[in-house]
Chain A
Amino acid sequence: EAGVAQSPRYKIIEKRQSVAFWCNPISGHATLYWYQQILGQGPKLLIQFQNNGVVDDSQLPKDRFSAERLKGVDSTLKIQPAKLEDSAVYLCASCLGAPPYNEQFFGPGTRLTVL
């Protein structure tokens, strides 16, 4: 079974530029999460989708971050414009059924560096 795919793996941008990350969850997984992991910290949830609807985006900085999940499968996370403090690893996770009864499977992450 293929795991959660993410691209790109690494991205370096200047502050105030835009960037987008892509996530392809495990086939059939209805729930998709985006987490932000700042160096030395645990991941923090940014947004959760159930199929193509948003369940929780309370910690998403909506003035600069946006996310969508078209057709309930792939998802993109965008930052526009980026700030220095956005430097982090962005992790995508998916879950088969109703969380937390089912484990979340994580992708390899996208490491973003904002200069």
Chain B
Amino acid sequence: AQKVTQAQTEISVVEKEDVTLDCVYETRDTTYYLFWYKQPPSGELVFLIRRNSFDEQNEISGRYSWNFQKSTSSFNFTITASQVVDSAVYFCALSEDYNQGGKLIFGQGTELSVKP
């Protein structure tokens, strides 16, 4: 069965701290995709990254970095030197292969609060 678990419901940090958001997934497929989305207070989900199951290379984009480990079924997201504008709810999501229609299975979300 497909499942995404974000065990951290809320995280609060002070500006400039580094913070890691955890994501653990379950799937029986060998081909799947993992995503991170940001949902600011405005409510619109903003795409951050997509990673397929065959690419375990870590990725860095500015202050954001992602660590994909198939051995532990995890796809963690780190924000370096956090800023107040990073305050939002972050969702990890899983999508299985094309025949599943590409629907996203979301985790419960982690609410990040960055205080000045």
Q: Which residues of chain A have a CB within 8 Å of any CB of chain B?
A: 31, 33, 35, 40-45, 48, 50, 55-56, 89, 91, 93, 95, 98-101, 103-109, 111
B101 touching A55, Cβ below 8 Å: yes
Query: In the complex, which of the residues B4, B45, B103 contacts A106, with contact meaning CB atoms closer than 8 Å?
Result: B45
Contacts of B45 in A (CB 8 A): 43, 91, 93, 106
CA distance A111 to B42 in the complex (A): 11
Contact with A along B81-116 (1 / 0, CB 8 A): 000000000010101101001111011110000000
Question: With an 8 A cutoff between CB atoms, is B50 at the interface?
Answer: yes
Contacts of B109 in A (CB 8 A): 40-42
Name 24 interchain pairs, CB-CB below 8 A, sorted by A.
Answer: A31-B102, A40-B109, A41-B108, A41-B109, A42-B107, A43-B104, A48-B101, A48-B103, A89-B43, A91-B45, A95-B102, A98-B98, A99-B98, A100-B33, A100-B96, A100-B102, A101-B98, A101-B102, A103-B35, A103-B47, A103-B50, A104-B104, A106-B44, A109-B43
Q: Closest CB of chain B to A82's CB: distance in Å?
A: 20
Within 8 A of A (CB), among B43-61: 43-47, 50
CA distance A66 to B46 in the complex (A): 27
CA distance A88 to B114 in the complex (A): 26
A108 touching B42, Cβ below 8 Å: yes
Q: Interface of chain A, helix or strand or loop or mixed?
A: strand
CA distance A42 to B3 in the complex (A): 12
A99 touching B95, Cβ below 8 Å: yes
B47 touching A109, Cβ below 8 Å: no
A56 touching B103, Cβ below 8 Å: yes
Contacts of B107 in A (CB 8 A): 42
Whether A42 touches B108, Cβ cut-off 8 Å, given contacts A31-B102, A98-B102, is: yes
B44 touching A104, Cβ below 8 Å: no
CA distance A104 to B67 in the complex (A): 22
Query: In the complex, which of the residues A45, A50, A109 contacts B44, with contact meaning CB atoms closer than 8 Å?
Result: A109
